[in-house]
Amino acid sequence: PRHFAQRLAGLPAPATIEMARRARALRDEGRQVISLALGEPDFATPPAVIEAAHAAALAGQTKYPPVDGTPALKAAVARKFLRENGLTYTPDEIMVSNGGKQVIFNAFMATLNTGDEVVVPTPYWVSYPLIARMFGGVPVYAPCHEADGFRLKAEALAAVMTPRTRWVVLNFPNNPTGAVCSKADLEAVADVLRAYPDVWILSDEIYEHLVFDGQEFASLAAVAPDLKDRIVTLNGVSKAYAMTGWRVGFAGGPKDLIAAMRGVQGNATSGVCSIAQAAATAALDGPADLVRDMAKTYSRRRTMVVEALRAIPGLTCAMPEGAFYAYPGVAGCLGRTTAGGTLLETDRDFAVAFLEEENVATVPGAAFGLSPYLRFSCATDDKNLQEACARLSRFVKNLK
């Protein structure tokens, strides 16, 4: 027999990756596929950032970097937290990882024991429950509703806290809904967390710069400084600076937890690519107007897409306040049959048939723990987005 670890039993591959794979297969058959499946900025990394990487490589920054990040990047991260979030972190409270994803992996591996509960508001980014389960954690879901603009209500959180809760995960602006929690929302959530002093809190703020309509982003540790010694503030350069391929994420957190996370990473990947760290340093210290311009573009696209979706009979769509996704509801289309003869019983049926019949890849809400919805990534150009909405309109009009 061939042996695989028990901890992987029943762990599915993320549906986002599955839909992207199907889209690629259809494209290889020669079809004109529009993929709105992945959450990846369509912008190029700023040239000054690439130049900084080049210069670092030529200057000999090509040796093993420290496990927790180069002193230069950690200093830039500390400046970023202070300047943008009003948070003070010392160097031993900061750690750099291979993307925000590895921050989560490190934190959960360093703290979870079998049966520990990880509270995740739904809908969620697919990786939180999957990583928790790798380490014996049990995901527990706190529902956020379309009627509340998908913001987390304190009562929904309070209702699922138990003595076994070890982590609470917060992610606003949210992937997949684009929901943003206001300072007041976070204050109410913090009140719930105060009653559970042994619980760690992951605040995933990776979409912080993509907040629209003049709203202000609020960082949990700044809203509730008394909780800061158990909050991991996660951020990174992937989304804000169009740097998904460089694999640089970072976290601010309490010294003891950061040390444990450093221990995990030291045995897994060691420090992040030294050249990518030089690039991330330049991005964080670079001009803020690049990020603001990208946010303006995402905001404009969001309005265009949501208006097009709302014009389709049978669909609903909350107005996302941040990030670069729309999360239309498809309840009004279930029970009907597509032009190609597929009965739509679930949002997964919907997403698969829409891809097969109209060549547009989206991700079904089931992947994010809240059905029946689709996630539309708006990180592609206007022409693709308009064409995708036109195809969706035709797909729905043809339902019988």
Contact footprint for ligand PLP (CB under 6 A):
39, 99-101, 125, 171, 175, 204, 206, 236, 238, 244, 249
Closest approach of Cβ 245 to ligand PLP, in Å?
9
Between 171 and 233, CB nearer to ligand PLP: 171
Closest approach of Cβ 312 to ligand PLP, in Å?
26
Taking residue 214's Cβ as centre, other Cβ atoms within 10 Å add up to 5
Between 373 and 395, CB nearer to ligand PLP: 373
Long-range CB pairs of 47-53, under 8 A, 24+ apart, other chains included: 48/282, 48/286, 49/241, 49/243, 49/279, 49/280, 49/282, 49/283, 49/286, 50/279, 51/282, 52/278, 52/279, 52/281, 52/282, 53/275, 53/276, 53/278, 53/279, 53/282
Q: How far apart are CA 368 and CA 175, in angstroms?
A: 9
Looking at the DSSP bridge assignments, the partners of residue 316 are 329
Q: How far apart are CA 130 and CA 394, in angstroms?
A: 35
Between 135 and 241, CB nearer to ligand PLP: 241
Closest approach of Cβ 234 to ligand PLP, in Å?
7
Closest approach of Cβ 276 to ligand PLP, in Å?
11
Which residues have a Cβ under 8 Å from the Cβ of 214 and sit 6 or more positions away? none
8 Å CB contact between 136 and 115: yes
Q: What is the DSSP string of 234-280?
A: EEESTTTTT-GGG--EEEE--HHHHHHHHHHHHHHT-S--HHHHHHH
Closest approach of Cβ 349 to ligand PLP, in Å?
25
Looking at 44-116, which runs of residues are DSSP E strands? 94-97
Looking at the chain, which runs of residues are DSSP E strands? 34-35, 94-97, 117-122, 138-143, 165-170, 200-204, 231-236, 249-252, 325-326, 360-361, 363-364, 374-377
Coil, strand or helix at 233? strand
Between 99 and 364, CB nearer to ligand PLP: 99
Closest approach of Cβ 171 to ligand PLP, in Å?
5
Closest approach of Cβ 243 to ligand PLP, in Å?
8
Q: Are strands 94-97 and 249-252 parallel, antiparallel or unpaired?
A: antiparallel
Closest approach of Cβ 229 to ligand PLP, in Å?
22
Between 206 and 353, CB nearer to ligand PLP: 206
Closest approach of Cβ 127 to ligand PLP, in Å?
7
Cβ-closest residue to ligand PLP? Answer: 99
Hey, what are 189's tokens? 């959530």
Closest approach of Cβ 40 to ligand PLP, in Å?
8
Between 13 and 311, CB nearer to ligand PLP: 13
Between 65 and 176, CB nearer to ligand PLP: 176
**ω into 287 cis (within 30 of 0):** no
Between 89 and 125, CB nearer to ligand PLP: 125
Between 106 and 299, CB nearer to ligand PLP: 106
Between 236 and 353, CB nearer to ligand PLP: 236
Long-range CB pairs of 44-47, under 8 A, 24+ apart, other chains included: 44/242, 45/241, 45/242, 45/243, 45/246, 45/279, 46/241, 46/242, 46/283, 46/286, 46/290
